[in-house]
Amino acid sequence: MKVGIVGSGNVGAGAANAMVLRGVAREIVLVDINVKRAQAEAEDILHAVPFSPHAVAVHAGEYSDLDDCSVVVITAGVAQRPGETRLELLGRNAAIFKSMVPQIVASAPDAVLLVATNPVDIMTHLTAHYAVPLGVPRQRIIGSGTTLDTARFRAILGRYLDVDPEHVHAYVLGEHGDSEVLAWSLATVGTVPLEDYVRARGIDLSAEARHVVDDGVRHAAYRIIDGKGSTYYGIGAALARVTQAVLRDQRALLTVSAPVAEMGDVHDITFAMPSLIGGDGLIAMLPAPLDNQEEAELVASARMLRQALDDLAAAGGI
């Protein structure tokens, strides 16, 4: 069970550390253009191995060292420059992926590619654009999607309800970003629909209360980045969880970024829906019986992503 992580910044290192502590892999190789950073992160994470459920080999390497990886996590990319538009940022990251993805595929042709670079839905779509012509099956290319947003929803809602978040089943769908959709209509506590649970327990779940939870989920990254510069613990744990589902062929239900042929009047996008994930990546995308408002919001999220892809293509970035 070998995992490669391309990009050894805070997110990549956070994912590697979470994998070690969860005992997800037997070998982890960190690849980064900044070799010194990759080596330092690998050495630091190695020192956590005695606290892992089993021994893990952690080391830095090059693209060629990704051979035999079952999963390659991609966190590499560039940050937005002052005054740079989102489209310009997309163009720069697209250029990086155009060069990077073929190198990954050449060394790890049988790996599931798990993309975390933001904007993750678009970067996952681009990864498929570059990898599928090289022979990588589309189901083996997924993104972290809204796995982190879903965890935030469950954590914040669990705290509000005073329930262990493990027993709160709630999903965030669509874009990993401002247009994401909190699927309140699907939320349950154990087997009990959320509306029934709060009614039985006498808990206020008015529109105002929901707005507080929604804001906590939707704007979490802004607050965290404002306070400490970036987010990495939550996404690191999410990447470890998706990787575990692949390595152990768990058939786990996760809200990863995956191809969507049609959503309303929108065609050929990549975003998050409840999906079964196993050893070959995406097994199946499951339907989500949303209410009318949530369905409309999901279509709007799809339109936004389709427009960004069209703009990128028009600018010559694809």
Give the torsion through C-alpha atoms of 87, 88, 93, 94, to 10 deg: 70
Q: Are 67 and 99 in contact (CB under 8 A)?
A: no
**Rounded distance, CA 42 to CA 57, Å?**
9
Name the catalytic one among 47, 167, 176, 219.
176
54 labelled catalytic = no
**Rounded distance, CA 257 to CA 273, Å?**
7
**DSSP strand pairing (257-263 vs 252-254):** unpaired
**Rounded distance, CA 225 to CA 118, Å?**
14
Residue 137: CA count within 13 A, CB half-sphere = 10
Q: Are 85 and 113 in contact (CB under 8 A)?
A: no
Instruction: Return the active site residues.
Output: 176
